[in-house]
Amino acid sequence: MTKAPVRDGLPKGFRSAELGWPELDRIPHPPHRIPLLGDVVGMNRHTPLQDTLRYARRLGPVFRQKAFGKEFVFVWGARHTADLAEESRFAKHVGLGIANLRPVAGDGLFTAYNHEPNWQLAHDVLAPGFSREAMAGYHPMMLAVARQLTEHWDRAAATGRAVDVPGDMTKLTLETIARTGFGHDFGSFERSRPHPFVTAMVGTLTYAQRLNTVPFPLAPLLLRRASRRNAADIDRLNRTVDELVRARRASGRGDGDLLDRMLQTAHPRTGERLAPENIRRQVITFLVAGHETTSGALSFALHYLSRHPEVAARARAEVDRVWGAAAEPAYEQVARLRYVRRVLDESLRLWPTAPAFAREAREDTVLAGEHPMRRGAWALVLTPMLHRDPEAWGADAERFDPDRFEAQAVRSRAPHTFKPFGTGARACIGRQFALHEATLVLGLLLRRYELRPDPAYRLRVAERLTLMPQGLRLRPKRRSPVREPASGLRRPVPGAGD
């Protein structure tokens, strides 16, 4: 089951739970376990996460599942997750789902093993690209892409048509990361069908998800055709990025974006530079991760805003008050949308678009004083269940309520109860980028439109390693423009309150 040790002394490859949890029998598992198959009977291969969430509710904050001879330990209790978040005792574990993406992303920031040096090199080289100064520089490009979205929605509003929310948010976030990070325009809003890069990206994510649900010995046989498609998708991603890098090298343009940093910047202490193959992997990582999760977050937030008109009205009033009659907000004004940000956070609480992260023990330890773990043992944190733990969020944890993120409420909760971006040294490097982009876009859409839902729609969640509301369509209705008060004075910008 295990492979030869690697540089840090830990085994590489999948490690079944019985290898690392000495008292595994104490951890509950679903009833009616079947030899060879394990606990997969009754599970839908299209919604494995949501099926696992149902088991989590029944089995408690630490439980296990077995599939085709592989045993997994899941954790979602706030107390247990806080223990796993301790960097001195636990580190990121590149679990099966992430490892399935290594053929395309290799040792990129998201998929690198802890012992691989390139993730730290890339992190240190690229971190200044997410500084406040860099973010302020991205703001005008974010606005330019948002204008393309609103022009598209204006046409739909004029004819009374509904818009494809996940599709449009995917176009928006892909263009935003491509232009701000790499100076590239995919032309997404001029296309009637998704850009081939998006089609290939969805293909690779879906294939990686399928690998999680197929017994390894049978995967080459059962997924032969899908494997060929996946190889073609990876080739498409690689060729797209290679062309993008070639164009930048040929132009010699150095505008300080993420690609410029990858090509030109040496590590501030060691003088090391990213190798060409690693640059390709980092670009793919940013293009995929930099738009896939944000588009899901925006889509879920728009769904909840459309279903909670009182929340939308309060958020819209804040936008009108903070931004006034200015045609577009300044960079500093976005951070003042505190209630809009709460809407986004509450949407990420209920449906974190990256729905799990894995942690492994650095040394022999005991999880939360209850479950012994050997060095290298790992657990998968189910973020949607962590975000619903009644010990942290109350008995009404399933209810959508942005005021859970009012400042006093946040201070009153235990740490490590809200983890939509992972945890520790390997948490998402682009968190502030995503939050600024999403808050800006929500503010722009709230100010410009009323969002009318389809009364017959019921939320369905699509899984392709990340989460997205499936089939979500809204009907935007244009609002009257915000005007200055009669005195001609600008509306006051609120301080700490809203």
In the block, residue with structure tokens 């019921």:
458
Token representation of residue 391: 């010990």
Q: Residue 394 in contact with residue 400, Cβ under 8 Å?
A: no
Residues 6 or more apart whose CB falls under 8 angstroms from that of 239 comprise: none
Residues 6 or more apart whose CB falls under 8 angstroms from that of 107 comprise: 113, 116, 118, 119, 278, 281
Report which of 119, 111, 131 is spatially closest to residue 433, judged by C-alpha positions: 131
Query: From CA 327, how far away is CA 415, in angstroms rounded?
Result: 39
Query: Which of 293, 294, 423, 466 is labelled catalytic?
Result: 293
Is 421 annotated in the active site?
yes
Query: From CA 13, how far away is CA 94, in angstroms rounded?
Result: 9
Q: Residue 152 in contact with residue 146, Cβ under 8 Å?
A: no
Token representation of residue 471: 């089939």
Query: Which of 111, 405, 417, 428 is labelled catalytic?
Result: 428
Query: Which of 421, 433, 439, 466 is labelled catalytic?
Result: 421
Q: Residue 364 in contact with residue 387, Cβ under 8 Å?
A: no
Is 293 annotated in the active site?
yes
What residues pair up with 357 in beta bridges, in sequence order? 381
Angle at 434 between CA 151 and CA 447, to 5 degrees: 40
Q: What residues are annotated to the active site?
A: 293, 421, 428
